[in-house]
Structures are given as structure tokens and as C-alpha cells.
Structure 1
């Protein structure tokens, strides 16, 4: 008989686990060991990887005007780029003689599609190379814009030249490339060495020589040509010829022939080795000129391990350096990661302690001990799976673990509570465990999947910001599914060993016969009787919370707590880079002795290298400099920011400066930005001036400017073409001679080991620096003579646009500004954009004003999340239908999800935390958490009604009985969020979820019974209710006959 019953009994995983303890012990140990190993081997980094969908194309055409660059180069390249699949936008800025084109791939493309798009860019631009003008340098492509240096070191030394510093840097690079985990070691900030031949065009003309003669003489001495080989019959002997140019002295001794006259070059020219002049960029560290070395880590390595090996390499390198050469660390991501992970592990430990305390206090020490053992087991399994799937420990995954910690105890708590109750009723432990499984396993799985589904928009958002936070979905999903398995397999087995067997059930005690539960019953009964009022009040409160969101500050991503400060210096367009260096040095000196700083790294001509993944890196710009100021700590950073802003305002009033902290999330640039686009640049300029006037009327905005900057002085040579033709002089020849005289003409290269050194001819310094010297440049004629430029052309001073930006081939001006601390940029931008509605309405056809920067990226990221919300809703509805098997009740449960917005709005208002991208993720995730709790209540009501209870009593009684497990799991989730609520990144999400869970849980206990009574409270048949009572099915018996779908009290 027993065997027959055993054969008919459905499979019960909990009973099987208890019946096979050796397997349970083995799996328990295996999970712990693999979890520890996974945690130890797991990659660690500061921020999660996200694909940089940006490619930079650069083209240089010496001598071309802005219009010529656009017509002959930029237009042609941009047209081809717009044919490339997956391109979101193409943006370019053009200067006389150069252009940089940036293209952005759409956010919904994966990394392979991005790589394919970059390949197509190279291919398509290569296809039109024959259409590009002769003399164009490039186009050059950079698709490694997102490479982040895990370490950045400066090499400097008083009395050492840049070539000497570069040799030390090469030594360091070669040592680093042999270090495990180092993919690249890049030398940056070095100055190219050149050999200059300073010779006046007049001196050449007097001897009948041209620059071409000079070039031919050097090439004839320096070319690499085969000299043949001799075959002796037994050997082949190669012949080589020495005599190449190897130093400046060799060039001085060159002989130039014009007719019968031979001239030694050194007699008419100054030949010397020197650095590129004018230079394009220069790096400094603590007031000394510097060459820097950045390290990019290979994938699959642990940044802390690679960091230790890199530091060990630098120690060996520093030991080999001569006296006076210093190696200083500018950025060290391994230390940042170690501190960040230590901080998060501390927060995780706090959350774990909080959850355990709640468990011990709420369900007793034995039950609490079961949960205390289950939690590390869940975490271990989660770590093992994360390691297997390549999910590193970083800002998002660690925050996800803390969020999950408050949720993963729910299932274990449900099982333990139900076992305790059945033990009180007299069941043996194995039957109590078996009952817990049969009554809760699959309904718990439904609840777990619904909670996980709440994070679907986060996991599948097709945007850069979505990719940045994607591991939140994966880690929470893994942890919750693992927690369900632990709850149905290991928790009953642990409970079987730890919980105490009650040999005699004793007299039944009604746990709900207390003053608190009597008041709760009365409150719920009132809500059910006045259901219209309760629902109306809830809807009004919900609408009020939506209205209140306009008073909550909004942002995209918060600022970082790192101690670095970035100081941007923009001098007027056309300022020489030497003047930029002078001003940067002056600012350096103002803060060099400040006790709040550790060091100052200065970057002239471009921004700092990407030492921080979300860095808004500035491309090469001759009128720009950036100071990276490292503060001692966060308070010191804030003091330094105040000092730097004061210094810039008082001592550098003509410099457009921006002092800012580092920001988390994808880079966005200036806090307030709007762009004006249209087909005609003059009309765009007019509209931009109106927008700037609106900016200037706002007292909150500072450093207001546009990115076309100021017109620059230029000299236009108007050639008398009739006279030029009579003398046999072309416009091209005039340009070439002026280029040689003023900027220098490259003649050839000579080889110095791995280095290639350019040989450049130009006018002497006394002539190059004088505007009037342009007139005295000699130009050769077709008849063998020479004439000064002044005889065929006159110089006209003009003002011209120094830089022009375009977006999707339309002239585009961006108006930008800064904001005071504490003012959220999104709020200001959106208000100003709304205030500009009359201006936008008055724009001619084809012209538009658009928001830009953080506000635009935030809107795009929110749209990418909203696009996946329907998928989340469909999955949740399917799971609800599978569980409740009633469409109306499924919709009722779904309608409780948005109630979390009420508490989220209140919590954000009270705390002052901004409603940004991260907070939005929390609000979305609330949906699944709240719906799970609602299912508990609706399912209990249905079971009680099926057991024959009066519907009114079933609704009220279920709310009372389910109050404790619902509140307990909600309280656990809320308290577990406390440790991350103190952080600037996770704080807004924590506050939104804490407030949403608390308020929604309380409202669920009152509003859900009222709504159920309104829509499903009518008794189908009076007789059915009477029969149910006649059958004597008390609520406890009904629960035994029809086990609850989720938590059991």
C-alpha cells in the first residue's frame, strides 16, 4: 500500500534532496568552492565595458581654405560615410588646411556590427581616394578612440631634451610589452625631431637656386637604392654604399650647383636639429616638460593583477634611469578599482548583516540560521555563473549584487516559514519540507521570473547608456533564479537538519488574535467597504506623484567621487599654441604650491589621454589646453575647484575656462548645450546669436560661447594675374614659396634607427615672425629669374571664420555654457528649450534648434528603455496568466505595479536625489517587485474563496494573513538598499526603490483588496457561500487543501 502511494506521489525535489544527503552535501561544497574560485579569478575594473561607437577621420591639405576643404575633401568623405550601414550621425569641424570628421554608429548595433561599420568606412573612403585633391595628407582613421589606459605615467627630468625623454619612454614601452596582460604600451606627448634648414629665399635667389634644387641635392645623397651584388660562383656578395645623411653636419656640407657656381649649403643656411616648431601638442607634469606612457590591458585579465605587474616593471625601469629622470604616476586604475571594490564589498557586507538581522529577529534563530547559510550559497553560485559568463566585478555588477541581496532571501524565507508552521501543526520534518515544495516551488518560480522581467528594459536597452548598465539585468536575474533553486533544494535540506521537530502539536493558537491584527483587519475592512473612495484617493495620489516629478532635479549620470579635476582653457581662435602654453604655465604656477593638490599634469594643444573610460576626451586643438589636477581627497577636490574658479575669473578674464569633476556614464561635454542647424551658414549664425542672447539672459549660465568661436585675422594675397603671367609665375608657385618661407617645406627624411626625421627648409626666424616679410619672399620665374612677391601681389588683411562645424552635412553651431554646482543641467536645458518655443516656431524651413549633450543623451537612453517596456509587460502578463489563469485578475495585479511611483517620487523629493538614468532603472524594476507581492495576496484570496469562504471575509482575511510575509520581504529589500544609498551613483536608485517598495507594499495591503472587492467581490451564488460554510472549511483547512501560490505564513 505504501509502495503504491510512493509510486503515485509526484516528484518532489525537496524530499529527494533530504533523501540523498550525500549528493546535497557534495553540491553544497562544490558550489561554495566554485563560487570562491570564481570570485578570486573574476575580472575587476572600475566601470563596465561599453562599445565606443565613434570613429575619427582626419584629413590635412596644407594651404587650403575652409571652403576648399569643405568642397574638395569634407563633402566627398561625408557623402560616402552617410552610405555606411548603421551610421547615426556624421559631424565634422574644418579649419584652413585640415578637417576632422567624427561619425557615430547607432546605439542598437552590437560590437561586431560596429567593427563592420568601421571597416566599411575605411573601404568606402578608400574607394574615392582618386577623387580627393593632390597633396592631401590622409585620410587617417582612428577607431580605437575608446582605448582606456589602466596606468598613465610621466617621464620627465630637468636638463633632458624631448628626444632623450622619448628614448627612456621607448625603453619603458618595450619592457611593458613583455608584461602579462598588457595589450598596448603607448608613448604620448613626445615631440617629433626635425632637421631645419633656415635659408632665406633671397639668398637662394641671389645664387640662382630654388628649394627644388635643395631637395634634389638632399635626395641624391640620401636615397636608398640597390647597388647590386657580385656572384663569385660560390657566394653572392651584396654591395652597399655608405654616405647617407645621418646628422645636420652632413647637410651643411652639401654642394649646390647653379650654372658654374657651386655653393656650400652651410655658407648660406643655418642647419640644425630641433623639435617640431611650432609644435602641435606638449605635455607637462608638475611644471616640467614630460613624455607619457599609457598601458592598455588585454581582455580576460584582472586589472589588479596586471597593475601589480606593471608597477613591478616600472620599479625595474626606474632603477635603470640616470640621476635626475623622474617617473611619476598620473593615473592608476588598479588602485581605483581596489578601493571601489573594497567599498562595495563593505556595502555588500553591511547589506548581508542587515538581511541576516532581519531574518533572525523576524523568524527565530533556527530559521534565521537556515537563511544565513542559504545566502552565501546563493552568492557563491552567482559568482561562479558570473565568472563563467565573463561578467566582471565593476560598478554596475557590484551594485546589482546589493540590489539582489534584498530580493534573494524572499524565497528561502517563504520556505522556512512554511516549514515552521507545518512543524507547529505536528508534521514530521520531511513532510513539512515536502509540503513547502509542493505548495510554493512553481508559484515562487513565477514570482522570481516576474521580478527578473522587471529588469528587461535595462538588459536590452539599445543605447550606450543601456549597454553601460546592462549587467544589472544579468546579475539580478542570475541571483534570483539561483535563489529559487537554493530555496527549493538546499533550504528544505538545511531546515530538515536545523529546525526543531515538534513531537506534539499542542493546542492551536491563532497568531492573528492580537490587537495589531485586529486593527489591521478593521483597516482593511474599511478599505473594502469604501473601495470607491480608496481607489479614487489612490489615483489622485498617483497623479499627484506624477505631477511632483517636475520638482525633482533631473540629470543623466552623476558626478564621480574620484579626486581628479579637469580645467579646460579655451583661448581665442587663432591664438598661437606658444601663447596657450604661456597661459597654461601661468595657471600651473598659481596652484603649484597648494597643499590640497598632489600634482598637476598639463596638456597643451589637446586634452588628457583617456585614463578614465567615460572621459569626454578633447581632440587636438591649437588654442586649447587642459590641466589635470589631482587633489588629495574629495574634500580637497571641492576646495580646489573653488580656488581654481576664482583664479580663472580674477587672473585670466580673457580665457574661457571650465573647471569640472569627472562624471560617470557616457561622456556628454558641457552641461548646457543646444545646436542650431540649417543649410545657410549666415542664417545659422544669425539664429545662433539669438540663442546666445537667450543664454545670456539666464543668470545661472556662465562661460557662454559657441563652437565656431571668434573670426581670426588672416592675410589674403591678391595676385595681379596679368603681371604674373608676363613673368611666368603661377599662383601655385606663389603658394609653395610662401608655404616654404613661413611654415617650412619638407624636403626628405633621414633614418635614425627606428625613427624617421624630417628635413625641412624654411625662412630664418627673423623673417618668419614678421607679417611684412611675406612681401620679400622671392618667387622663381619661368625665365630663370626671381622676383619678390610684392611685385606680383598685394597683401590684404581680412577676418575669416577660423573653424566651422557641420552635422549630417549641414552647417551647425553649438551654443554652450556652464552651470553652478548643485544645479541639474537637464532641468535648465529642458526649461530653456521650452521657453524658446516662439523662436523655434519662427525659424525658416530647413532650420532647427535641438538640445544637445547630457539632456539629448538622457532622452535617447530613456527612449531606448521605453522601447523595451512592451516586451517586459508581455512577459509579465504571460507569467501572470500562467499563474492566475484569469485575465481580469492578471490586469488587476499588473495595475498595482505603478503604485511604486508614489513612494519613489516622495523619497526622491525628501532626499533631494536627482531623477536620472539610474533612478529610472530603479523605478522600472519596482514593477516586477511590487507585482510579485500582489500575486501573493490575490492568490491567497482565490484559494480562500475556493475553500468556501465568504468573498468579503476571504478578501479581508487574506490581506491580514499575508501582511507579515509581504511586509517582511519588502522590509528586507528596503533595508538591504541602505548601504548603497550613500553613494552618488546608486543613491538615487536606492532612494527610489526604498520609497517605492515601502509605499507600494502598504498600498497593496489596502488598495488591492479594495480593487478586488470592486471588480470580483460579488458572490456568484449565495448558496455556494453557504455550502462552503456548511462544509466546515476553515481558512487553515482551506490552505491545507489548496496550497497558496506564494508565501505562506
Structure 2
């Protein structure tokens, strides 16, 4: 079996053909995305409760929903926000559940929410469960009228819904959504005095309209040869039909048509729930998402053709594609492919210099063959091609070539010793199979924690580990089958001489360097302790330098866009928010690198990056958007300068320019959660924390989520006066609310569009608190009528604006926002030092919890380590079984531990932060170091003379292994050179950890491992007399 592929060339040719075809087919058919798809583990329950203040919403809605959600074992955490008129309860599903279990959890959540609907207040709406999609939009289209056009925004909304329908019907579309689309309705503006004279209210009119809108079937007429549905004509289909509805006054006050006492018109609901603006023009944004397993580039081209057809069918309408994910996917994957290509060329060049042209071609063929095989395996695994799976290939670049180098170099060594081709192939397989299997297994176990990491973080990064595992496993199989067979087939006549050979044939060789290296090995063998000390200098330096490294677990990303948001004080109207965003846009336009500015007022912006936060609906004082620049470099320059200018130019307004980063979405870089029972105490503690946080270097803004003291217009109604008018206070509140917000009654159907009919008071009643006093209130008795002002005075009083609860407890989260590209870890450390100096302490029953990026980092690290211990045991077991010795395994894992120090040294040397990518790079370097050490120790154990302590045998055995160790080291450094030169902040920490420490890993394999072997031989007392005298170096 060891020579099967060599003896049967047709079998090898068939295997090669299948690998190439399978890899190319997989590349052509597998899905392509910029980022991995994340399971929808996060959601919220939104419940409207008109007329209720924040405290009432908390007590009657939010607390009950929290309680039933926390009863589910699948729900990990809840956060509720209670504001006037609305409750929003956010929740997360446990990270250790897989995709199937998550879907089952969503079913249980809906059932649990439905089970308490009957216990909620009658005035509250039905709770709505919303699933948060974790991913960027595949395409965003902006629709707007040209400047100077007199077309209505309502027509723009209808056209945007038509485009949304077309995109939804496109093959492979996952979902669609609109931003800034106006809500059209049939508005019945009631004359309050005329209605009061008839003794009817807006609620009475709405109820009558609902009964007049005849849509239900009146029965069925069935006979022997016919079967008909009976209907009553009268459904609302035109405005005139609504105007013609007859109203009757109370107690014989007469009959009138609705059109006589009200204006009936088609209009958009005011004020707008949200508005969208793109480049200073009122727009509607249409977003669409492609299914996770499909190619976003192919879908994107189809979507662009569809948008172009829609543009041609709607002359006079501006239709612009403002974001297309396919552009970023192609750019990202193309950039990675180019880097991979450059790396492969550098690797081939190094192999040519180290091993000669023939071996370079044979060993280099392992690169494309492994990549094709990995693409096939990824496709079979059911994953698309994205930056993380390609990252795994780049990570494996320095590892997958190692096996091929070792087997080819060992085969050539055996041929020089006089063995025939078949015998050399057979002996190479028998000698190297076990140690290379052990080294491959250790690499697999080293990356298995990433591949098996649970939760959202695991879903995002797991393909790095999976790709590395596929790559090193494929390279191991290829090395002992195809690569070794190619080496034998294309081998020339064995050269057993020691004369000079041209470098292009067998690689560079230097007698002076060989002589010096032999002298070094002689010294290490003679004094192994000194050799071990020399080898650990760099690792120890790396461990010491690690304490000075800044921490940034999730690296930033190079992108020609950044996120922008504006938050005004609570109670500000959307019109004021619009004026402020116009001023911010004008400041942004002062920068030459700014190309596009998009805003959504009153809610969250569409996702142009996968981890943009959502859940900001119903906030007229808030606006979010994005800015597109000419390049990632321009983004970096603009965000830093703009953030400093905006703080000075807009006092009292929080303007945030936030570069995009990797990692899960967080509300703020620094989040401090104060948990306790009393709102007043929470508010006081929050203000104290904010003062300390605001004084921390790097912090731009602070914000407490618990808001007390929002102004509210309150009617101090006299209950006795209301009773004399035949009213109760609840009746007064309901009638004022109907006059202000309107009451729905019936619908008008136009084609497939359904427009609600809303009965509402005149607009001037909603413009000032004083106008409310003039609102007439028809009483219950004949002729009884009063006004709101007659019942009491209208005053402005403070009221709790929002109440936050975390896992069933009241809390006051305090957010700290940082200047662009300022690291959160040093800022948080500085804050705690200032907090300790301030003397602020939490009272009994209150506690401070750390959230934000620190919490996300802790959760991701815990998930990464959750599988590390069992896999470490498996790794140790594989090495122990390969060597059948705990002592040799101890040497191997000592080298692995020291290589972590080398990785840290590389990170420190290149001045990059210590984060997730540096950890992944450290794992890659551990695998590389362990592989080299296993090869050296295996060669020493396979030499009987070396086991007896013969110094000459030990030296020459290490010399034989040196060429492929050096070749592996140089190919790894060369493979990562494009990433180091590119300077991408996402790749740089990873490349620095591997390439920066790989030279030291060669010292560990060639100096530390032989020295430890000599120490082990001396400790066992074997061949003690043979050690003193190595032969002179020649």
C-alpha cells in the first residue's frame, strides 16, 4: 500500500483528474459572500400601548413579557426598554444551541408570547416577535424625485413598494425591507364642533365606518345546479364612498353625511414614523438580502438588471443603487486570491533556491492541488466561499507545504544513499508516516477549538479552523500519494557523489555556512543547557513584551465607508432632527473624499455592514446612516478629523462617526451596567459614572439609557367637573387621544394596496398644548357638552422617558463612545483607575456590570476555550502515541508553549494590538513549530547511533533535517510577506504572529529540540561515553 500510487500511475492520474474537476466545479457553483452567515439568535418583542407612560408600560407589558421569556431554558438574556406608548423586549438565544435547536427555540418563543396576550391590557396591541437578521444588505436602492419635481412622496412610496415586490420575486432573494417609506391612509379630519353638536366622537365615527365597510360574505345560496356566495354591496373602494356614510346624532340630533362634517382625503400619515435622505434628497431606500447559500455576485448582477429595467419603466424617477455587496465580495475575494497567488510565487521561488527546480515544481504542485481539494471539501461541507474560509487557506499556506517538503527531501536523501526508486518511496512512507501523522493531528487539534467554537462568534470564525483542518489533512494525504509518486517518476539518476552541484538542480549549498552550522551543533551537543537557553531568549522576550501590548480582540476592517449617527435630546421633533442632519451633511461635504451620505431618521439605517446595530425604531430624535468615501485611507482620515470638529460644532447633540469593525454588534465600545431596584438611585449613580467616564482620555460622548425628567403635557382634570359632563377621566383621555392620534375604522382597497381609514381631529389641535384645551367633549346627556380646558389646567411636568431592565432587573446602562481607532481596553483601564480614585461605591443592592466590547471579548474567549481542554488532551495523546514516550511528547509541547512566546514577539515587533487574529496566528505558529520538532525528534529516534548518544550521528541527523526545516521557515515567511506589506489591520496581527515568530521556531526545532534530546539521552545514561567527541566538521 505504501507504493500503490507509484506502482499504478493510472490510479494517480485518475485521482489528479478528479481533484482538479471537483475543485473547479466547486469554485464555479459554491456560494460567495463577504462574511459568514450567522444564525438568527437575537430578536425582540415589540408591543404598542397607546396612552401609557413608561412606568405603566414597564409594569403591565415589559415585565410580563420578560418573565415568560426567561422561563424558557433556550433564552439566554433579555433587555427591555419601556417608553411612553411602546415596549421593546430584546432577547438572545443561548450560544450553545445549533441552528436546528435555534429554530425550535423561535417556535417556543412565539408560543410563550402568545400565551400571555390575554393578560395584557386591552388597550395594548398584540406583541410582535421580530427576528434580527445578522448580515449586510445584498443591495440597497434609493428612489427619489428629481429636484424641482412636484410629485408626491406618497407616489414615491407606492413605487418603492413595487420595486420591493420585484426584488422579492427574484430567485434566491431571502427578504426585503423599506426605509423611509411613507404610510398612506384615508384620513377623515373631523370638525370637532360639528361632531360635538351631534354628540358623537371620533371613536363613534370610526366604529360606524368599520360597520359600514361591508366585506364579509352574507351567506351562500346553493341549489341543485348552482352555488353562489351572497354579498352586501358597500365595501369602501373610493373616497366618495367613505364620504357618503350616514351618521346619526345621539338622542335624535339628526342625520348627516360624513362628508358634511369631515374632510376625507388620501394622505400620508403625519408625523412620519421614519424618513430617508440620500445626498440631501428625500428618498425611499429599498433593501434586499440574498439567501446565505447562493452566490451574491450572480444574484447581484440579476438584481442590477432588474433595477435597470425598473428605471427605464419609470421615467422621471431617480433610481440609484447606493450599495451592492457583490462589489465588496468580489473585491475582498479578489484581493485574497491575489495575495494567495503572490504567496504561492514567493513559496515557489524559495523552494527553487532551497531544493532546485525539479523539487520546487513537485513540492509546489501541492499548493494548487490542496486548494482545489479544500474548495471541494468546503462545498461538500455546505459552506459558501467568504473571507473567513479563504483566510483559513492563507493560514494553512505555511503548514500545508511542510509535509510535501519533508517527504520529497527525505526521498532525495534516500536516493543519494543508493536506494532504488521503489525502495526509497517505500522507506520514506514507512519512516515518515507516523511522525507526520502526529504533526498533522496536532495541527488539527490546535485549530479544532476554532472550528468547534459555539455561538455567533463561532459561526463567524469557525471556517478558519475548518479550512485549515481540511488543508493540512489534504496536504498530508497528497504528500504520501501524489507528491511522493511525482518525486519518484520525475527523478533523474541518483547522484551519490559529494561534488559540487548547480543550485538550479539541487538548491543553494554553502560549504562555509555548513561548516559554521556544524560547529554550532557541536557546541550545542557538548553544552545542551547553553543551547536551550539561547533558543528560549526570543520566546521569553515575547512573553515579557506581551504585557505591554494593547488589547483589541476584534480588529477594524479596511472599508471605504463608515457609520454615522445623530442623537438629539429626548422630546425633539423629527423636523429638528432633519435640520441637524442637514448641518452634519454639510460639514461632511467639506471633505473631498466624501462621495455619498445616506440617512434614516427616526429608526435604524439599512445594514451596509453585517454588525450594524438595529432596534432604534420610534425615536424621532435619532438618525443613523452611512458615509461612503473614495478609499479606506480616506475613511480613516475623515473620521478622525470629523469627529473632533463635530463635538465642537454641535454642542448638545451626540454626533458619532464610527469606523466598521469585526465582531458582534455592541451598543458602545464601553458599556457599564448599573443594576438595582430604584430609578432615582440608578439615575444618580449613572450621572456619577458619566462624570468619571467623560473625563477619561479618548472618550468623546457618554450616555445614560435611563432617562428621567422628559417633559410631558399633563391635564389636571377635575373629576367632579368631568362627572357633571357625563364623563369619566378615562373617557376624557380616550377622546383626547382619538382627537390627537386618530382611530382606525375600515379600509379602502385599491388593487393590492390596502389603505386604513383613520378618523382624527384637525392638525392645529396637535401643534400646541394650548390648543388641546379648546377640544370639545360631548357629554352623555342631551345638550351636555364641555371642553378639555373646562376640566382643568394643562401644564408641562417631568416624566420618566425610558426604563431599562436587564434579565428582569431594573438597570441604567451607561455608554462611553471613543474617538475613531482608539482602543477600548486602555480607555476602560483608565476609567477604572479614575473610578477607584473618585470614591464612588455601589450601595447595597446595586452592582456594576461590564458590557460592551469587553463583555463580547470575554464571551468569545470563553467560547473559544470551551473546547480547548478536551482537544489539548487529544493532542497530547496523539504525540505520546506517535513517540510512545511521555518524555519526547514533553519536548514537543515545551516547544509548542515557547512558540506562543515567539508569536507574541512577532506581534510586538510589528506594533499590532493583541487580539483574535493574533491568537489564530499563534495557533498556526504552534502547529509549524511542533511539526518541525516532531520531524527532528523522529529522525533522531530512528538513528540507533543517535539513541546511543553518538554526537556525530546526532549532528548529521539534524543536518539532514535542517534543509526542509529552513525551507519550511522561508516559505512561511515568504507566503505571509504580501499580507505584511499590504498592511491591512485585519490581516497584520495574524501575519505578524506567524511570520514574525517563524524564524525563532526554526531555532526551537534545530537548536532546542536536539539539545533537549541530548539532555534526555544523558539523563537516561545511555551512551554517556560516546558523547564527548564529535568528528571534525568538514
Under a length normalisation based on structure 1, what TM-score does the superposition of the two structures give? 0.92
Give the number of equivalent residue pairs.
Answer: 1018
CA separation of 1:541/1:635 partners in 2, compared to 1, >3 Å: closer, same or farther? closer
CA distance in 2, matches of 1:147, 1:365: 47
Equivalent-residue separation in structure 2 for 1:22 and 1:794 (angstroms): 98
CA-to-partner distance for each residue in 1:402-454, whole Å, 9 max, x for gaps?
12122111111111112222222222222222222121123212211111211
Q: What residue number does 1:808 align with?
A: 807
Partner in structure 2 of residue 564 of structure 1: 561
Distance between the aligned counterparts of 1:167 and 1:156, measured in 2?
Answer: 12
Matched, 1:168 2:165: no
Deviates more, 1:750-759 or 1:851-860: 750-759
In the alignment, structure 1 residue 287 sits paired with structure 2 residue 280: yes
Instruction: Give the match for residue 140 of structure 1.
Output: 128
Match of 2:897 in 1: 898
Distance 1:164 1:316, change over 3 A: same
Are residue 865 (structure 1) and residue 864 (structure 2) matched? yes
Is contact 2:689-2:814 (8 Å) kept? Answer: yes
Single out whichever of 625-634 and 959-968 deviates more from structure 2. 959-968
Query: 1:671 Cα deviation (Å)?
Result: 2.3
Matches of 1:591 and 1:687 in 2, distance apart? 36
1:454 and 1:929 in contact (8 A); partners too = no
Greater CA drift, 545-554 or 440-449 = 545-554
Residue of structure 1 aligned with 2:672, choices 665, 671, 674: 674
Residues in 1 aligned to 2:609 and 2:401: alpha-carbon distance in whole angstroms: 36
8 Å CA contact retained: 2:945, 2:953: no
Equivalent position of 1:376 in the other structure: 368
| Distance change >3 Å, CA 778–CA 1016, structure 1 → 2 | farther
Q: Given the alignment, which residue of 575, 579, 597 partners 1:578?
A: 575
* Counterpart in the other structure of 2:333: 341
Instruction: Give the drift of 1:1022.
Output: 5.4
Note the alpha carbon deviations across 1:276-300, whole angstroms, 9 max, x for none.
Answer: 1111111122222222222221243
Confirm or deny: 8 A CA contact 2:435 2:938 kept in the other structure: no
The CA deviation at 1:800 is: 1.5
Offset of residue 954 of structure 1: 5.4
2-side partners of 1:743 and 1:260: how far apart?
27
1:509, 1:879 → 2: CA distance? 41
Name the stretch that deviates more: 245-254 or 612-621. 245-254
The worse-fitting range, judged by mean Cα deviation, of 63-72 and 246-255 is 246-255
Secondary structure of 1:184's counterpart equals strand
Relative to structure 1, is the Cα distance of residues 370 and 782 closer, same or farther in structure 2, using a 3 angstrom cutoff?
same
Q: Is the 8 Å Cα contact of residues 674 and 852 (structure 1) preserved in structure 2?
A: yes
Q: How far does the alpha carbon of each residue in 1:720-765 deviate from its partner, in whole angstroms, 9 at most, with x for none?
A: 3344344432121011011022222223333223222222222212
Structure 2 contact 138–325 (Cα < 8 Å) conserved: yes
Distance change >3 Å, CA 823–CA 843, structure 1 → 2: same
Task: State which drifts further: 580-589 or 60-69.
Answer: 580-589
CA contact (8 A) 1:577 1:604 kept: yes
Q: Secondary structure at the match of 1:33?
A: helix
Matches of 1:801 and 1:164, distance apart in 2 = 39
Deviation per CA, 1:55-99: give whole Å up to 9, x if none. 111011101111111111111110111111232210011101111
Are residues 770 and 950 of structure 1, via their aligned partners in 2, closer, same or farther at CA, if it must alter by over 3 Å?
closer
**3-state SS of paired residue (1:454):** helix
Alignment of 1:339-418 (within 5 A): 339-418=331-410
- The aligned runs of 1:1023-1038 (5 Å cut-off) are none
1:460 pairs, out of 452, 476, 486, with 452
- Aligned partner of 1:1020 in structure 2 is 1021
Q: How does 1:351-750 map to 2 (within 5 A)?
A: 351-502=343-494, 505-506=496-497, 514-527=511-524, 530-532=527-529, 542=539, 544-591=541-588, 595-620=592-617, 621-642=619-640, 644-645=642-643, 648-709=646-707, 711-750=709-748
How far residue 512 of structure 1 moved from its aligned partner, in angstroms, is 10
Q: CA deviation at 1:204?
A: 2.0
Whole-angstrom distance in 2 between the partners of 1:1035 and 1:435: 30
Offset of residue 37 of structure 1: 1.4
Moved more, 699-708 or 937-946: 937-946
CA distance in structure 2 between the partners assigned to 1:1034 and 1:52 by the alignment? 68
* Aligned alpha-carbon RMSD (Å): 2.9
Asked whether the 8 Å contact 2:32–2:385 carries over to 1, the reply is yes
2:261 aligned with 1:268: yes
Counterpart of 2:12 in structure 1 is 24
Distance in 2 separating the partners of 1:584 and 1:948: 77
Of 380-389 and 747-756, more deviation after overlay is shown by: 747-756
1:668 Cα shift? 2.2
Q: Conserved in 2, the CA contact under 8 Å of 1:949 and 1:1035?
A: no
- Whether contact under 8 Å (2:214, 2:232) holds in the other structure is no
Partner residue, 1:1039:
none
Q: Given the alignment of the two structures, is residue 997 of structure 1 paired with residue 988 of structure 2, yes or no?
A: no
- Give the 3 Å change call, closer, same or farther, for CA 991–114 of structure 1 in structure 2: same
Q: Deviations over 1:161-186 (max 9, x none)?
A: 23322332333233334433223343
Relative to the length of structure 2, the TM-score reads 0.93
Residues 297 and 439 from structure 1, CA distance in 2 versus in 1: closer, same or farther, beyond 3 angstroms?
A: same
CA distance in 2, matches of 1:862, 1:231: 70
Q: Is the 8 A contact 1:512 1:518 kept in 2?
A: no
Instruction: For 1:706 and 1:397, locate their aligned partners in 2 and report how far apart those are by CA, in whole Å.
Output: 40
Q: Which residue of 1 aligns with 2:323?
A: 331
1:292/1:736 Cα in 2 relative to 1: closer, same or farther (>3 Å)? same
Distance 2:681 2:207 in 1: 50
C-alpha separation in 1, matches of 2:947 and 2:932:
24
* CA deviations over 1:339-360 (Å, ceiling 9, x no partner): 1111111011011111111111
Q: Shift of residue 401 of structure 1?
A: 0.8
Structure 1 residues 350-359 or 903-912, which shifts more? 903-912
Instruction: Sort the Cα spacing of 1:875 and 1:348 in 2 relative to 1 into closer, same or farther, 3 A.
Output: same
Q: CA deviation at 1:455?
A: 0.6
Runs of 5+ in structure 1 lacking a partner?
Answer: 1-10, 1037-1049
Aligned-residue offset at 1:843: 1.9
**Which secondary structure does the structure 1 equivalent of 2:746 belong to?**
strand
Q: What CA deviation, in whole Å up to 9, does each residue of 1:635-690 have, x standing for no partner? A: 33345435643653354223111012222232224222222112222222222222
CA contact (8 A) 1:598 1:630 kept: yes
| Structure 1 counterpart of 2:504 | none
C-alpha separation in 2, matches of 1:457 and 1:602: 41
Contact residue 460 and residue 470 of structure 1 kept, 8 A = yes
Aligned CA distance change for structure 1 residues 89 and 104 (closer, same or farther; 3 Å): same
Q: Is the 8 A contact 1:574 1:802 kept in 2?
A: no
- What SS does the corresponding residue of 1:814 show, helix, strand or coil? strand
Question: Separation in 1 of the partners of 2:952 and 2:686?
Answer: 68
Segment drifting more, 193-202 vs 675-684: 193-202
The alpha-carbon deviation at position 834 of structure 1 amounts to 5.4
Q: Quickly say closer, same or farther: Cα 1:880–1:756, change in 2 above 3 A.
A: same
> Secondary structure in 2 aligned to 1:479?
helix
Distance between the aligned counterparts of 1:216 and 1:104, measured in 2?
40
Asked if 1:209 is matched to 2:200, the reply is yes
**Residues 537-557 of structure 1: CA distance to partner in whole angstroms, max 9, x if unpaired?**
777865553342232122132
**CA–CA separation in structure 2 for the residues paired with 1:945 and 1:425:** 17
Q: Secondary structure at the match of 1:668?
A: coil
User: In 2, are the aligned partners of 1:574 and 1:712 still within 8 Å (CA)?
Assistant: yes
- Once the two structures are superposed, the pairs formed by residues 720-869 of structure 1 within 5 Å of their partners are 720-784=718-782, 785-833=784-832, 835-837=834-836, 842-869=841-868
Alignment of 1:950-965 (within 5 A): 950=949, 956-965=955-964
Decide which of 57, 62, 66 is 1:78's aligned counterpart: 66
Q: Which residue of 1 aligns with 2:30?
A: 42
Does the 8 Å contact 2:643/2:819 carry over to 1?
no
The partner residue of 1:114 within 90, 102, 110 is: 102
**What secondary structure sits across from 2:339 in the alignment?**
helix
Q: Aligned partners of 2:918 and 2:595: how far apart in 1? A: 34
CA distance in 1, matches of 2:851, 2:404: 48
CA distance 1:955–1:720, change in 2 (3 Å): farther
Structure 1 residues 570 and 841: CA distance shift in structure 2, 3 A: closer
Specify the alignment match of 1:66 in structure 2: 54
Moved more, 256-265 or 508-517: 508-517
**Aligned with residue 77 of structure 2, among 89, 101, 121:** 89
Structure 1 position 304 matched with structure 2 position 297: yes
Q: 5+ unaligned residues in a row in structure 2: which ranges? A: 502-507
